[in-house]
Chain A
């Protein structure tokens, strides 16, 4: 891949089949456009003329009052989470992030995914307490105000449900948006107190190998976490994107275990008990343990492995004719930073390297982008990510060989046939610009 130059060089060098362009094209290279115009290859500079300009009504009158708390524009009302239990039946509820309608890396807090197994508790932060006890020298309770006085850490981190992308265990491609397929992963900036700081305060007994984390919700949902993770990067998060946690994300405090199964990041956390063994709670013994092919049963499958998916364009979008588009998506890994994302527009026959919008943080979303000129013919778009540990997303065939697929097609995103799906997502664009989910 030689760098495109001005003058006689092609302005947007194609790096892979079906119009994928060099990721460095268009990045502050004004000379490129000048060169393209001079050589007559800059087709986009000579497209259909714009309408004559006029003032619209909002440009001729004073606007509305500045509110104490902003809401998105009334034109953005469709940018919402999709719900699995809108009638509030006695069961769990999911709200999924609309990845195909947002951009960047931070999931707006109001759109961060939520899974609540018994609704969203209405917790008075003044009365909430975090108890740390068990194999410690001195059991203690901490209020939210106490935690706010401790040294705090701010970091990016994704949270992903182990059941995210589960419709892709289907033997036939499930037709749905990024929101339906991958909407149970979101990314925030979290601020809180490291668990290691609090363990210092209670005096950790060396016999402790695990701690159970328990919520203040009606199920008192609990999970076991290795002390190793507790002493590494585990956090009691009390702020999300600069403000207090959203109720659906654990208000007033949650456990944050960067890179680990979402369910282990216990919301409404009210208790850490240090133990010499795992508790084998319902959620770790059953729900978030997996069946692998050949009757192999797997427990403590902590890490959410490297994944990426193209959010733009994707199912639910339609392309408005041939020409230039930006392909973009998110990549993340429970193992650390994203090191590389490759994009294909020809179903995996050829790949070009996408630009990573840095800085890339460990266990956090990285936005990747790829310039693309669509010629109007059917194409299949795919992305494949690698993390700094060297692990890459498995191809579909590799994934199915190791993890299996269903015998009958999955018809609902609520089916959750299995968990920890991290293979490639492929979008087939037809000649009309309509987009389908396919396996490639």
Chain B
């Protein structure tokens, strides 16, 4: 680089360099939270983002036999090989104990996975009422709630799961 071009380069850096660097690339397109609704389906353990609607175990049993039993077994037991039952154990005293709904710390996990992923071949085709009803049915099969308990945005996050508060965290400093 000649002295002349070096001087020009320094001058340009002084004139434009800092201003150009201060601007972020800013290539993303702004979107309103309202327009994210179709994707914004995750519900949180404290009930955040639970949708309106409700369902009972009886209502859930009807949906279950039609849309779930072929993979997860009648009444949540004895599914075909390779598929998970919906009725689980409550004592996890073996390192390879099967983990099902009774393992979850929060009932919102059950609602969320049905709503986002099930039925496996037709995800996100259930109504929110059906998801509440299926959650109620599966929780009642496991005797976590009563046969006549209604699940909705208020009641479901408050369900006391058998493993609530039992999990330890190995890397608290990484959170």
Assuming A279-B42, A291-B92, is B120 touching A118 (CB within 8 A)? yes
A357 at the interface (CB under 8 A from B): no
Using a CB-CB cutoff of 8 Å, which residues 81-109 of chain B contact chain A?
82-83, 91-97, 99-100, 103-106, 108-109
Contact status A280-B170, CB under 8 Å: no
Which one of B91, B104, B109, B121 lies within 8 Å of A90 (CB-CB)?
A: B121
Assuming A91-B83, A219-B123, A228-B175, is B167 touching A281 (CB within 8 A)? no
A150 at the interface (CB under 8 A from B): yes
Contact status B117-A277, CB under 8 Å: no
Which one of A214, A285, A302, A407 lies within 8 Å of B171 (CB-CB)?
A: A302
Chain B residues, Cβ within 8 Å of A292: 95
**What interface size band does chain A fall in?**
35 or more
Chain B residues, Cβ within 8 Å of A101: none
Contact status B95-A403, CB under 8 Å: yes
Contact status B39-A169, CB under 8 Å: no
A254 at the interface (CB under 8 A from B): no
Q: Interface SS of chain B: helix, strand, loop or mixed?
A: loop
Chain A residues, Cβ within 8 Å of B175: 209-210, 226, 228, 300
Contact status A150-B27, CB under 8 Å: yes
Chain B residues near A (Cβ < 8 Å)? 24-33, 36, 39-46, 48, 71, 82-83, 91-97, 99-100, 103-106, 108-109, 112-113, 116-117, 120-121, 123-124, 163, 166-171, 174-175
Q: What are some 24 contacts across the A-B interface (CB < 8 A)?
A: A133-B33, A140-B31, A146-B28, A149-B27, A198-B28, A219-B123, A228-B174, A279-B44, A279-B45, A280-B105, A280-B106, A282-B109, A285-B106, A289-B167, A291-B96, A295-B93, A297-B92, A297-B167, A298-B167, A406-B96, A407-B94, A417-B95, A418-B95, A418-B96
Q: How many A-B pairs fall under 8 Å by CB? A: 169
Q: How far is the CB of A98 from chain B (nearest CB, A)?
A: 24
Residue of B nearest to A418 (CB): B95
A350 at the interface (CB under 8 A from B): no
Contact status B174-A302, CB under 8 Å: yes
Chain B residues, Cβ within 8 Å of A301: 170-171
Which one of B95, B112, B116 lies within 8 Å of A169 (CB-CB)?
A: B95
Assuming A220-B116, A285-B104, is B95 touching A406 (CB within 8 A)? yes
Contact status B96-A417, CB under 8 Å: yes
Chain A residues, Cβ within 8 Å of B93: 294-295
Q: A302 to B109, alpha carbons, bound, how many Å?
A: 19
Q: How far is the CB of B49 from chain A (nearest CB, A)?
A: 9
Contact status B95-A133, CB under 8 Å: no
Which one of A138, A219, A299 lies within 8 Å of B167 (CB-CB)?
A: A299
Which one of A90, A293, A298 lies within 8 Å of B168 (CB-CB)?
A: A298
Q: A375 to B23, alpha carbons, bound, how many Å?
A: 67
Assuming A209-B175, A285-B104, is B28 touching A214 (CB within 8 A)? no
A340 at the interface (CB under 8 A from B): no
Residue of A nearest to B124 (CB): A220
Which one of A151, A222, A228 lies within 8 Å of B42 (CB-CB)?
A: A222
Contact status B33-A90, CB under 8 Å: no
